Structures are given as C-alpha cells and as structure tokens.
Structure 1
Amino acid sequence: MKQMIVQCQPNITQMALLERGKVVEYAAERTGERGLLGSFFKGRVVNVLPGMQAAFVDIGQKKNAFLYIDDVLHPHLDKQPEVKPSITELLHVGQEIIVQVFKEPVGGKGARVTTHYALPGRYIVYMPLAGYVAVSKRIAKESERNRLKIMSEKCRTEKEGMIIRTVSESESLESIDGDLIQLRKQWERIQFKAETCSAPRLLHRDLSIVQRFIRDSYTEGGDEFVIDDEQRAKEAAAYFLEMVYSEIPKIHVYQGNQTVFEAYGVQEQLEKDFKRKVWLGGGGYVVIDHTEALTVIDVNTGKYIGGRNLEETVTATNLQAAAEIARLIRLRDIGGIIIIDFIDMEKEENRSRVLRTLEVEIKKDRTKSVVIGWTRLGLLELTRKKVREESTLFID
C-alpha cells in the first residue's frame, strides 16, 4: 500500500509518496511559482542558428527557449526525411509557433521546448500529431500489450498518437476512449487560443502539484490519501471524480497538532535523506556530491563489520547501498549522468548481484533511467532523464 501525504502551507505545498513507510518521492511548489514543465506557449522565433541546427524562441520568460531541429521534425521517425534539412528551411525569424516545455530552465539556460506535443491523462499520453501508438514497457504480458494497442488504434484518427500508460493494464475501451476524448478537447482549446492571440503567450499550463500527484501516482484499491487542508481536500476529491476512477479513495483530512509531515514521519526521513551523507540501515553510508556535469555517489562500509570476511562485508554493504541509492535518486529527482563508486569486490558474481539489485530497484522510478554498467575503473555508470532542477528540501 502507498500513502500519499500532502502538506499545505500559506507559501508552499509539499507532497510525499510513501511505499511501505519509506519516502520514495518528494516535490514542493511555492505559491504562485508553478513550474513550466508541460506548459504550452505561442512563441516567436528570435534567432535561427544553422551551425547548431537550432533556434531560440521567445516564450515570454526571462530567457529565450531553445528549440533543436529534432524537436521540429515529425515526431514519428518513419515520417522524417532520411537526411535532416537545414533548420533555416523549417524556421525563420519572426515566425510564430506553438511549443511545449519539456525541460525546465536550469541555471543560466532557458527552457528546452518541442513541437512534439504531449498531453498526459490518466490512462494515455495524447500526442495530437504523432501518428503512432506505443505501449508502456512496464506492461510485460504480450497479449495485454497487443490488446491495448489494437483497442487504441480503433479510437484514434490517423494523425493522432498515444502512449498507453502502465495503469491502463486490464482497462476497458471506454476508459481509454474517455481519456482520449478529454485530451483531444484540451488540444483543441490550445489551438483555438493560439489562433486568437499574438506571441509570446501562455496557452496551457500543466496541473497543480496535487493534481499531478494524483494523476501520476495514485493506484486504485488501497492507496491512502492524506491532506491537511479542507478546501484542497475538496479540490482533490473533485479531481478524482473528474479522472473517472471506478473507486474513489477516502480522503483523510489531517487535523492534528503537529504538521502532517511530522505526524507521518515524513519530515524526519526527508531531513536525513537530503543530507550529503546518508546512513544505511546496516551501518554503512553513501556520500552524494554534485558537479555541473554529473553526480557522484560514494559507498562506504562505515560502522558495518558484520560479514564473515571482507568480501562478504563489502558485498552486503554494496547490495544495501544499491537499493537505497535507487530510492534516493528517485526521491531527490537527480538527473543526468550518475557515477556510483561502490566498494571494490573481488568476485564477478558479487558485482553482478549489485548490478541486478540496482536495475530492479531503478525500474520502480517513473522517470526513465538507463544503467550503463561497470567502467574499466570499477565505477557503475547510469543516466536518468533530467527535466527540472534537482529537488531541494524546503524548510520553513
């Protein structure tokens, strides 16, 4: 069972997702400072750079957005030209286009934008111009994948595309089609607004943090939803109904003397898990350091001395660290290149066990990660899709 805990304060809303009592996801949103990720803008091209095959687009933010040629070409690979044209053949200065933010502004860089539009719903991600259907790789059963794909093909028009989300497993045609109709109307509203306004202009913003939390994390039949604000609880209930769940959860409105994060042990966990040095249950610890290019995680035995010999002690620490590192990466929303310096092991079978443990645990993360493997120096290398600044713990 998962617990979804939402803490509302006058200047910030924080959410935490707990699995078996451990915090695995955390996000915070300041009042009036909702992020740009997923937002649609009508932008104006202000600079076209053939040497970079890219353009800069004014979307009304402090920094112009960056648009690369791959995000201008047709989203379906089969419909792209064999040789990429020059960006100057596709865009010109002064041109007004609809773009969607798929990477938040980071540091001194503006947002990354695309014309490969995607609107996430409960059961599908709707891609109005993609022209293909894909099924989540987390749906393993081939017969179910085929059923969902055939069913989805019946719903869409030729130019529309869909990604069938994991939660769609065993769902009916009515569920998929209902989601599609709702998202199609949303896209039509975006298009209508774009036709009636001048650039730069915000056309559509993604859901609030609480709504995204429900859409992306809630599973029917057992999840607990706790929130400490009665009005926001009513809004959450309305959103559950809007998403047409067959089983609406009981929303618990917390009214204790402590904060809801304190009452559910969330605050204590977060304060430990966001430190540079994080202790493991067995006495070992990991150290997480960030550079501009990558994140480095170092594993140490610390106080753990429990094995019959050095190899056993080291392997036990590494196995525990692998599971915990996967959780910390997800919790802290660490993106980009990640290098893990596990403690040296002599036996190849132990190295394989550590690698498998990390691979299994990292699959629980919704954000795409790729475990590359061991380098010649004995370091473990992986990458994780980076769409926003790494999460930082808010302390009031």
Structure 2
Amino acid sequence: MKKMLVHGQKDMLQIAIIDESSLYEYYMEKTEHAGQLVGSIYKGRVVNVLPGMQAAFVDIGLPKNAFLYIDDVLHPHLERQPKEKPQIGQLLQPGQELLVQVMKEPLGGKGARVTTHFSLPGRYLVYMPIADYIGVSKKVSTEAERSRMRAVGERIRLPGEGVILRTAAEGESLESLQQDVQFLREHWHEIRQRGETASAPTLVHRDADLVHRLVRDLLTTEIDEIWIDDGSVYRKTRATMKRLAPAMLPRLRLFEPQIGGASLFQLNHIHEQLQEASQRRYRLKCGGDLVWDQTEALTVVDVNTGRFVGTSDLEDTVFRTNVEAAEQIARLLRLRDVGGIIIVDFIDMEEEQHREQVMHLLERRVRSDRTKCQVVGWTRLGLLEMTRKKVREQKILPVKDSVGHRDEARS
C-alpha cells in the first residue's frame, strides 16, 4: 500500500511517501521561505551580455544575478527557431527589461538559471503560452490514450499556445482539461499585466506553496491513503483537493495522536529512514553496502559485497548484490536529491547477461523518479554512468519534530 504522510509544524511542513513502510520520497519546506524559487517569474533587467558565452546576466533582485542562455531566449519550438543561431547581442542589450522564469535554483556560488520559455503547471496539464506544440507524459501507458490526449490537447489550446498533458490527465474528460487550461490561461494574463506595470527587478509570480503542490504534483491514483497530522494543513489540503482532485477526497485522513503517543512520522520511522539514507555507507539487506562520495563534478557510488557471502557461486553472489544495489540506488537518489553526473561502480560481473539485467533494472526504477534521469550505460572501465537533472542544491538539514525527535533530513 502506498501512503502519503504530511507532518505539519509551526515553521515547517514535511511530506513523506512510503510504499509498504519503505520511504521513497521526502519533501520539506520552511513556511517562512514561502515556497521554492523554481517556477517563479521575475521582471528582470539585463546587466551584461557575454557574446563569447552566448548568454546574459539578468538582475532579478536576488543576491546573485541570474544566468540566461541564448537557447532560453529563442522560441521554445525548435521549428520556429532560425536555421542559424543569432548572436546574443542581437536579442538582448544591457538595461533591457524582460520577464524571466526560474528553471534552476541558485547553486553554490552560481545564480539562478532563468528562461523566457514560460510554463505554468496545473493538475492535468502544463500550460506554455508561447510554445506552440503539444506534449504527452511518457508515463501514459497506452498509445491509444496518448493519441486521445494529444487530440484533446489540440482542441483546448489556442493558436501559438503549447500544452503538456500530465499523467493525471489520463482518462480525464475534455471538460476537465478545458477548465484547467482556461484557469492557467487567465492566470498567465494576470502575470503579464503585473509584469507590464512592475519596476525591475521584482518578483511577479511565485509558484504555489507545498500544500498546493502536494495536490497538484504529488497526488496520483497510485496513492492509496493521505494522512495529515495537522488540523489547519488538513483543512487547506481538503479545500485544495475539492477544487483540483475531488475524486481523491475519500483517501484523505486526519491523524490524531494520543497525548504522549508517537507522532505520524515516528510511527512510520520516517526520520530513522532519512538518517539511514543520508549516511556515507548504506547497508543493504543482503549484507552488502553502498558507499557514497560526492565531488563538485559528480557523485560516485561504490557497491561492495560486505558481509554477504552467498549460497552458491561467486557470480550469483555478485549478481544478487548488484540487483539489490540497483533497487536501492534508484530510491536513494530521490531521497538524497542527487543531481548531475552519477557513476556507479557495481561489483564486476562475468556474464554480460547479468550486466544488462542490472542496467535495465536501474532504468525501470528511475522512470518513476519525478526528476528526469538518464542511464547512459557502461563505460569501458566497467562503470555505470547516469545523470539526474539538478534543479536545486543538495542539502542535509537537521529536522526536529514536534515531540523532540532530531535527525538528519534533506531540504
């Protein structure tokens, strides 16, 4: 059974998604931060243009100027772009004001990465006001449904607009999708109006808070139960679900702990699992282990047999260890929110069939990751290379729940 657990506090909201008691996803947001930067829209001012990098720096009011690459200035539809890429100086000039949307959080000493390819996510679709194309989630199961959704997308968009039909749109009616796109279209019109009258640099639109994103982005039909332990968060979530996902309301539950009893997260051992997932050495159930090392350029995961000696031959022992390792690496990448290049040093396998099975298993498991992952393949040195999109800085923060438990958790 797959459950979503929501733990509310005065200054923090935490969300955990578990499958048969095993933690697979974790999100945390401090209330004073008023949401993430990714998705926010600013009216910025071009500070300088760098022809050698085909990019510009834009002041959007943050401590570090944002980075705008030429591909994020050109039209988002490749067929609408010029055959020869122009110079950045032909498109942007210092002092020029423009609307931009944050696509990557500031990382380390770098400012945010921004784009002019605007997108507004809804429950069933992502609205792109100037993209001029239709997209369908790769997670939609059948080709017949993909074709139906694409046809519906063509009916509900206006000329020049783009929409991406999300997985939640599978099986939904034309009317539901029409309502979603109309709401987002009107919202975009309001954003543009605010942008026209605002003085740069300034924030024009901030993406929704974590409670709204919980319903909009995280709540799928795969979730069997949603448990919330805070009354105000429960009421806010219920109101949001009534508007965005009314069919899921019967799955919503309010958790009311007894006086002196364990909290929702304690009962499900969430903090213990977070602490275990954040350690450099992670123990596998078979007795092997994973050792995680992170550099500025990449993350390396070393797989060891450890105490696992197997029951038959060496190749079988190695293969079984690598299979469990692949399962856990896909899970831990999400919990640790690892981004960038990832190199996995699996234990050497003699049989090519085993190597392919391990790689395909990892590919299947990362498909359910909400962050884009790509398994590149085996290198000539026998290492498995993959990438995971980096949108925010990986960070381990101490989290203290309302009954005094203190552990390490990812921001």
User: Structure 1 residue 171: deviation in Å?
Assistant: 1.3
Corresponding letter in the other structure for 1:143: A
Corresponding letter in the other structure for 1:188: H
C-alpha distance in 2 between matches for 1:118 and 1:179 = 14
Matches within 5 A, 1:141-160: 141-160=142-161
Matches within 5 A, 1:109-258: 109-220=110-221, 223-256=224-257, 257-258=261-262
Q: 2:320 matched to 1:316? A: yes
Q: 2:382 matched to 1:378? A: yes
Q: Match for residue 92 of structure 1?
A: 93
The alignment partner of 2:190 has SS state of helix
Q: Match for residue 348 of structure 1?
A: 352
TM-score (structure 2 length as normaliser) = 0.94
C-alpha distance in 2 between matches for 1:356 and 1:197 = 50
Q: Match for residue 358 of structure 1?
A: 362
Corresponding letter in the other structure for 2:191: I
The alignment partner of 1:47 has SS state of strand
Q: 2:27 matched to 1:23? A: no
C-alpha distance 308-393 of structure 1, shift in aligned 2 (>3 A): farther
Structure 1 residue runs of 5 or longer lacking an equivalent are none
**Retained in 2: the 8 A contact 1:27–1:391?**
no
C-alpha distance in 2 between matches for 1:346 and 1:27 = 40
Corresponding letter in the other structure for 2:173: S
User: Structure 1 residue 221: deviation in Å?
Assistant: 7.5
C-alpha RMSD of matched pairs (Å)? 1.3
C-alpha distance in 1 between matches for 2:158 and 2:387 = 35
User: Structure 1 residue 360: deviation in Å?
Assistant: 0.9
Q: Match for residue 52 of structure 2?
A: 51
The alignment partner of 1:126 has SS state of strand
Corresponding letter in the other structure for 1:163: I
Q: Match for residue 368 of structure 1?
A: 372
Determine what percentage of the aligned residue pairs are the same residue: 52
**Retained in 2: the 8 A contact 1:296–1:339?**
yes
Which 4+ stretches in 1 moved above 6 angstroms? Answer: none
**Residues 131-175 of structure 1: per-residue CA shift (max 9 Å, x gap):** 010111112421111111111101111110011111211111112
C-alpha distance 103-249 of structure 1, shift in aligned 2 (>3 A): farther
TM-score (structure 1 length as normaliser) = 0.97
Corresponding letter in the other structure for 1:178: Q
Q: Match for residue 302 of structure 1?
A: 306
Q: Match for residue 10 of structure 1?
A: 10
Residue 291 (structure 1) aligned to one of 288, 295, 302 = 295
C-alpha distance in 2 between matches for 1:222 and 1:40 = 31
The alignment partner of 1:395 has SS state of strand
C-alpha distance 221-323 of structure 1, shift in aligned 2 (>3 A): closer
Between 1:214-223 and 1:105-114, the stretch displaced more is 214-223
Q: Match for residue 42 of structure 1?
A: 43
The alignment partner of 2:286 has SS state of coil
**Retained in 2: the 8 A contact 1:15–1:210?**
no
The alignment partner of 1:394 has SS state of strand
Corresponding letter in the other structure for 2:55: A
Corresponding letter in the other structure for 1:78: E
C-alpha distance in 2 between matches for 1:394 and 1:203 = 32
Q: Match for residue 338 of structure 1?
A: 342
User: Structure 1 residue 252: deviation in Å?
Assistant: 2.2
C-alpha distance in 2 between matches for 1:162 and 1:315 = 43
C-alpha distance in 1 between matches for 2:189 and 2:123 = 19
**Residues 51-72 of structure 1: per-residue CA shift (max 9 Å, x gap):** 1110011111110100000000
User: Structure 1 residue 254: deviation in Å?
Assistant: 2.1
**Retained in 2: the 8 A contact 1:223–1:249?**
no
**Residues 94-143 of structure 1: per-residue CA shift (max 9 Å, x gap):** 11101000000000100000000011111101101000101111124211
Aligned positions, number: 396
Corresponding letter in the other structure for 1:394: P
User: Structure 1 residue 366: deviation in Å?
Assistant: 1.6
Corresponding letter in the other structure for 2:305: T
Corresponding letter in the other structure for 1:273: A
**Retained in 2: the 8 A contact 1:4–1:15?**
yes
C-alpha distance in 2 between matches for 1:71 and 1:182 = 25
**Retained in 1: the 8 A contact 2:215–2:244?**
no
Structure 2 residue runs of 5 or longer lacking an equivalent are 401-411
